[in-house]
């Protein structure tokens, strides 16, 4: 009730902000969102994000706080930690970092010294900026060597990983990607890391929801440290990272997050994630994970049907990267054409891209958001086909207008969060 009356007051006091919020709600409902790193939280998560917990300072860790009145805060943070440990069968979990990128910096600081060597995936082949990009803290502080995908298969070249590991003797090997559509062989990475005495750090930001749902393999048995965001396939609140690690690294990791990098954490976000972790243990969530995979494949098939080339030959996950240069001049052009018909996706470099990063040759598309809305393979295949048709007809305004109408009709039939994913046993 309090929230409803606050909303009424807000609409009188700040009509500008309410107007923008309503328009954004409309935008999300009327467009086909294929951004692979976006999702829509459940009403349970939304209820706790921005809740009363946001008022509480809980600097420190459960049982070791720097402020009083934390008895309940301790219980909330411990709930989040215990559920995460159960969900991923890991020894230790930290839930305080303010973003996955900050969490990654904490991990590097925890176990490396400045100048140490890291072996990680090339950004343009699907890696992440926090894995040693020259413009990021990680690239400035550490000596970074990159592996990538093989030119012919566009899949991770494990032979190259092994060779570079032997040659450079890194202290840490990083795997985990932002735009790589295939599964990563964590066991092989673990074996290579062990053979050169390196730590294996897996950044699971994109795929973690699929691991939580049990539909793709977990890196936990092979990795020393695993990090993730919670707002991508996981379907939790945006902002905030999690770190999982072996018990012997727990103290170092915790100290590197707080006080090494951050002050007080954000308890409302921790509470919102605690309920997410409980959702992840339900049959509905497992079904959601399966549907995300099936939907990504259907989307890929639709694209293939229109003569588009799939990077790495297809997908094992929630995302597809297509080379669009047979149909339009660049990924940048494709992104704009797609937005004009109501499809939201992002341009993305492809491995060994002939075009510069700001135009690039690819588009990345993912299924998590539309799956949350309740779309199934039939709709995803149709959407893949319409992506192709829009690109084929990129200079034909009447054809594009027709596609826009068809997609609008599809989008408005679905809620943002389909009731079928809500926990049924409450």
Ligand X SMILES: *Cc1c(COP(=O)(O)O)cnc(C)c1O
Burial class (CB in 10 A: 0-12, 13-18, 19+), 392: middle
112 vs 175, beta carbon nearer ligand X = 175
Beta bridge partners of 146: 120
233 vs 325, beta carbon nearer ligand X = 233
Q: Which of residues 187-206 bind ligand X (CB under 6 A)?
A: 203, 205-206
Which residues have CB under 8 Å from 115's CB, separation 6+?
141, 142, 143
Q: Which of 132, 148, 176, 388 binds ligand X (CB under 6 A)?
A: 176
Identify whether 240 is preceded by a cis peptide bond (ω within 30 of 0). no
Tell me the number of residues near ligand X by CB under 6 A.
14
Q: Which of residues 12-41 bind ligand X (CB under 6 A)?
A: 37
How many Cβ atoms from other residues are within 10 Å of residue 395's Cβ?
A: 9
Half-sphere exposure of 286 (CA within 13 A, CB side): 6
State in angstroms the smallest separation of the CB of 240 from ligand X: 7
128 vs 182, beta carbon nearer ligand X = 128
Span interacting with ligand X, options 78-86, 97-105, 180-188, 387-395, rule CB under 6 A: 97-105
Q: Which of 101, 109, 138, 361 binds ligand X (CB under 6 A)?
A: 101
DSSP string, 87-151: HHT-SEEE---SSHHHHHHHHHHHH--TT-EEEEE-GGGT--GGGT-TTSHHHHHSEEEEE-B-T
Beta bridge partners of 202: 175, 226
101 vs 371, beta carbon nearer ligand X = 101
Q: Which of 33, 117, 124, 178 binds ligand X (CB under 6 A)?
A: 178
State in angstroms the smallest separation of the CB of 231 from ligand X: 7
49 part of the interface to ligand X, by CB under 6 A = no
CA 362 → CA 34, 121, 205, 310, 330, distances in Å? Answer: 14, 18, 21, 9, 7
49 vs 301, beta carbon nearer ligand X = 49
* 174 phi, psi to nearest 5 deg: -115, 135
207 vs 325, beta carbon nearer ligand X = 207
119 vs 400, beta carbon nearer ligand X = 119
Beta bridge partners of 346: 364
Burial class (CB in 10 A: 0-12, 13-18, 19+), 366: buried
Per-residue binding letters, 54-93, with ligand X (x by CB under 6 A): ----------------------------------------
Span interacting with ligand X, options 39-47, 71-79, 175-183, 369-377, rule CB under 6 A: 175-183
Q: Which of 58, 124, 130, 372 binds ligand X (CB under 6 A)?
A: 130
183 vs 399, beta carbon nearer ligand X = 183
Q: Which of 99, 160, 306, 406 binds ligand X (CB under 6 A)?
A: 99
Q: Which of 40, 90, 100, 312 binds ligand X (CB under 6 A)?
A: 100
For the chain, count helices (H), then strands (E): 16, 15
Which residues have CB under 8 Å from 201's CB, separation 6+?
107, 172, 173, 174, 175, 176, 223, 224, 225, 226, 227
- Return residues touching ligand X (CB under 6 A): 37, 99-101, 128, 130, 176-178, 203, 205-206, 229, 241
């Amino acid at each position: 009730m309090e929230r409803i009356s606050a909303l009424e007051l807000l609409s009188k006091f700040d009509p500008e902000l309410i107007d923008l919020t309503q328009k954004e709600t409309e935008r999300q409902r009327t467009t086909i969102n294929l951004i692979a790193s976006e999702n829509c939280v459940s009403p349970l998560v939304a209820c706790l994000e921005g809740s009363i917990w946001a008022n509480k300072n809980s600097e420190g860790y459960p049982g070791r706080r720097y402020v009083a009145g934390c008895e309940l805060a301790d219980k909330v943070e411990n709930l989040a930690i215990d559920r995460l440990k159960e969900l991923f069968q890991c020894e230790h979990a930290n839930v305080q970092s303010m973003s996955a990128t900050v969490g990654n910096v904490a991990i590097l600081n925890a176990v490396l010294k400045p100048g140490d060597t890291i072996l990680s995936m090339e950004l343009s082949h699907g890696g992440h900026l926090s894995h040693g990009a020259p413009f990021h803290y990680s690239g400035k502080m550490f000596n970074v060597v990159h592996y990538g995908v093989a030119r012919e298969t566009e899949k991770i070249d494990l032979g190259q990983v092994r060779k570079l590991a032997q040659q450079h003797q890194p202290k840490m090997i990083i795997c985990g990607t932002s735009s790589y559509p295939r599964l990563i062989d964590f066991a092989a990475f673990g074996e290579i890391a062990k053979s050169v005495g390196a730590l294996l750090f897996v950044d699971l930001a994109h795929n973690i929801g699929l691991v939580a749902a049990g539909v793709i393999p977990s890196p936990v048995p092979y990795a020393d440290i695993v990090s993730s965001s919670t707002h991508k396939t996981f379907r939790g609140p945006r902002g905030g990272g999690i770190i999982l690690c072996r018990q012997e690294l727990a103290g170092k990791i915790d100290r590197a997050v707080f006080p090494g990098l951050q002050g007080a954490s954000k308890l409302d976000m921790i509470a919102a994630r605690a309920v997410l972790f409980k959702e992840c243990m339900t049959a509905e969530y497992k079904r959601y994970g399966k549907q995300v995979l099936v939907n990504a494949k259907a989307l890929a098939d639709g694209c293939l049907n229109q003569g588009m080339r799939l990077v790495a030959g297809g997908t094992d996950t929630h995302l597809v990267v297509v080379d669009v240069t047979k149909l339009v001049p660049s990924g940048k052009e494709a992104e704009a054409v797609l937005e004009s018909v109501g499809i939201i996706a992002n341009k993305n470099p492809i491995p060994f891209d002939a075009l510069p990063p700001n135009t690039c040759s690819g588009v990345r598309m993912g299924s998590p958001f539309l799956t949350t809305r309740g779309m199934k393979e039939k709709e995803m295949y149709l959407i893949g086909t319409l992506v192709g048709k829009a690109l084929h007809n990129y200079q034909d305004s009447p054809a594009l207008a027709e596609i826009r109408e068809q997609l609008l009709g599809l989008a408005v039939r679905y809620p943002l969060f389909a009731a079928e994913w809500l926990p049924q046993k409450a």
